[in-house]
């Protein structure tokens, strides 16, 4: 018997002992899905030494934290559609912010739609399917009406302060457009709430009004927080948590960018010219936004406890993708390095997962859909889902996936006009030790990183003679993965 099988057996025994002491709820489990926007793993529960996230950390202590979860596309619309349909981006054909998945797949069954079809009350608060931030806050954006019984589009004071927002764009170029620009604002005390505060209020109201103890009907509530998406806006008290003098921007070591394909470098205008102060301010504002969201999450989970719902509610906490904040001189997303593709993922499933456990198994966000169906005892839509049931992997009942796949159009054209007419698709595969990335099938560059020796991806090993066997092996693995999803 292998160590993994022994660990799985002990884990299952622990679960059985735990369940034996807990009464089984009569109703199917409720689901609370919390999706945050552009949040990386700079969280206390992931070992970050500075960022204060006591409520996210508490959530992790109640469930299983996945240390190696990866988005299938490091941009909002593409990632969210993939997560909520259980399909890879190449299958949904949602490869930009503009496409709506129903145009290509009118009959696909979304995750909340499947729960609704099976008698659940389903509701959305905030950004779940794509909404442009900040311009579409307060609207339906690219929502999917058949997925929900009720929707709420919160809109707060943070959407009405454009003239106060600080941006890295020089004043003479500033058009007050913040969705893809590093921008921030510490808001002094106001008599109106921020969007995410209103969202938390509305989520609590929905929990109160749709408590299964009153309705006799389980619920699927999806709550989408807008922060820490740009512009990074939060009350000033959260900025005070992170004094500028205590923030250390990432140093880009000499030679880091020179050994990477141009296609891999998702540079944006004006970021290369940021001053040290601007870097510190941007990081401070990003951290403040995370801590602000953490408090709102804590209010919602406290309501679950107050309403007697915690013991029969599955909670998923996830971001749509990661965020760079300076590594490789990159600050946002749309690249295929670790910081952009890796996301936080926490699963709380009472009596089903061991509280406070961690899984280092490679996980894709498309694994969320089949996992929630398994927890609710629901059948999958025929022939649709591509992911794995995480419960079976965590419990040692099936082996973990060998690799995690991500893809993205190269965003190098944003600062290189000559590349605008040459779309370049990149595919990246992450194994336990390596990441292999190829751009335009390798024609625009190849990357190989050994995380055991180089966790910050400084050295591209693709041309290293000592790593050619590993490169060919993982290249074949990527080809097999892509062929399987065509």
* Cα–Cα distance measured from residue 76 to residue 82, given in angstroms and rounded to the nearest whole number: 10
User: In Å, what is the CA distance from 352 to each residue of 12, 112, 398, 430, 479?
Assistant: 9, 21, 16, 28, 35
Query: What is the mean pLDDT for each group of 10 consecutive residues in the chain (486 residues)?
Result: 41 42 65 98 97 98 98 98 98 97 97 98 98 97 98 97 96 91 92 93 98 97 98 97 96 95 97 97 98 98 98 98 98 98 97 94 98 97 96 90 97 94 96 98 98 97 98 98 93
Instruction: Tell me the two tokens of residue 220.
Output: 């699927």
Which pLDDT belongs to residue 192? 83
Which pLDDT belongs to residue 14? 45
Q: Say what the pTM is.
A: 0.94
Q: Looking at the 3D structure of the chain, how many domains does it have?
A: 1
Q: State the DSSP H helix or E strand holding residue 203, giving kind and residue range, or none if neither.
A: helix 195-209
The sheet with strand 64-66 has its strands ordered as 150-152, 121-126, 219-224, 30-36, 313-319, 345-348, 64-66, 357-359
Residues 6 or more apart whose CB falls under 8 angstroms from that of 275 comprise: none
Which pLDDT belongs to residue 327? 97
The answer to whether residue 12 is domain-embedded is: no
The answer to whether residue 485 is domain-embedded is: no
Q: List the domain range (segments joined by +) for residue 257.
A: 30-403
Query: How many CB atoms sit inside 10 A of residue 376's CB?
Result: 18
CATH number at residue 141: 3.40.720.10
The answer to whether residue 290 is domain-embedded is: yes
Q: State the DSSP H helix or E strand holding residue 20, giving kind and residue range, or none if neither.
A: helix 3-20
The answer to whether residue 74 is domain-embedded is: yes
* Cα–Cα distance measured from residue 388 to residue 401, given in angstroms and rounded to the nearest whole number: 8
User: In Å, what is the CA distance from 307 to each residue of 35, 119, 125, 266, 484?
Assistant: 22, 21, 19, 46, 45
**Residue carrying the six token digits 């966000």:** 365
DSSP string, 400-464: PPS-EEEEEE--GGGS-GGGTTS--EEEEEE-SSEEEEEEGGGTT-EEEEETTT-TT-----TT-
The answer to whether residue 331 is domain-embedded is: yes
The answer to whether residue 301 is domain-embedded is: yes
Let me know the angle formed at the C-alpha of 294 by 54 and 27, rounded to the nearest 5 degrees.
90
The answer to whether residue 1 is domain-embedded is: no
**Residue carrying the six token digits 């180089």:** 454
Q: State the DSSP H helix or E strand holding residue 276, giving kind and residue range, or none if neither.
A: helix 276-306
The answer to whether residue 9 is domain-embedded is: no
């Amino acid at each position: 018997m292998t160590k993994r099988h022994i660990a799985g057996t002990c884990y299952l025994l622990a679960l059985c002992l735990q369940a034996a002491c807990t009464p089984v709820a009569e109703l199917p489990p409720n689901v609370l899905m919390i999706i945050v926007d552009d949040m990386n793993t700079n969280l206390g529960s992931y070992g970050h030494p500075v960022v204060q996230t006591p409520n996210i950390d508490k959530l992790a202590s109640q469930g299983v934290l996945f240390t190696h979860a990866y988005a299938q596309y490091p941009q909002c619309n593409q990632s969210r559609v993939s997560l909520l349909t259980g399909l890879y981006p190449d299958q949904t054909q949602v490869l930009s912010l503009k496409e709506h998945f129903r145009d290509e797949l009118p009959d696909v069954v979304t995750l909340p739609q499947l729960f609704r079809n099976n008698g659940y009350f389903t509701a959305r608060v905030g950004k779940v399917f794509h909404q442009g931030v900040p311009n579409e806050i307060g609207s339906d954006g690219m929502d999917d009406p058949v997925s929900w019984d009720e929707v709420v589009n919160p809109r707060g004071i943070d959407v009405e302060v454009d003239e106060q927002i600080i941006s890295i764009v020089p004043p003479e170029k500033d058009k007050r457009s913040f969705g893809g620009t590093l921008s921030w604002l510490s808001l002094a005390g106001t008599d109106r709430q921020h969007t995410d505060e209103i969202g938390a209020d509305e989520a609590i109201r929905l929990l109160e009004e749709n408590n299964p103890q009153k309705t006799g009907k389980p619920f699927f509530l999806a709550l989408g927080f807008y922060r820490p998406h740009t512009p990074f806006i939060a009350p000033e008290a959260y900025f005070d948590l992170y004094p500028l003098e205590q923030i250390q921007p990432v140093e880009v070591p000499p030679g880091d960018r020179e050994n990477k394909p141009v296609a891999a470098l998702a540079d944006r205008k004006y970021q290369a010219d940021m001053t040290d102060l601007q870097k510190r301010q941007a990081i401070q504002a990003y951290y403040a936004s995370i801590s602000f969201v953490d408090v709102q999450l804590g209010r919602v989970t406290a309501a679950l406890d107050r309403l007697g719902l915690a013991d029969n509610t599955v909670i998923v906490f996830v971001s749509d993708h990661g965020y760079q904040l300076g590594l490789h001189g990159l600050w946002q997303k749309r690249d295929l390095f670790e910081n952009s593709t890796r996301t936080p993922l926490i699963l709380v499933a009472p009596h089903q997962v061991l509280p406070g456990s961690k899984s280092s198994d490679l996980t894709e966000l498309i694994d969320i859909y089949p996992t929630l169906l398994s927890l609710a005892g629901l059948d999958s839509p025929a022939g649709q889902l591509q992911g794995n049931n995480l419960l079976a992997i965590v419990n040692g009942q099936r082996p973990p996936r060998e690799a995690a796949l991500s893809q993205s159009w190269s965003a190098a054209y944003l600062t290189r006009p000559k590349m605008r007419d040459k779309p370049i698709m990149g595919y990246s595969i992450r194994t336990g030790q390596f990441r292999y990335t190829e751009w335009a099938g390798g024609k625009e560059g190849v990357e190989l990183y050994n995380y055991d020796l180089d966790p910050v991806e400084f050295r591209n090993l693709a041309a290293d003679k000592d790593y050619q066997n590993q490169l060919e092996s993982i290249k074949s693995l990527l080809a097999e993965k892509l062929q399987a999803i065509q």
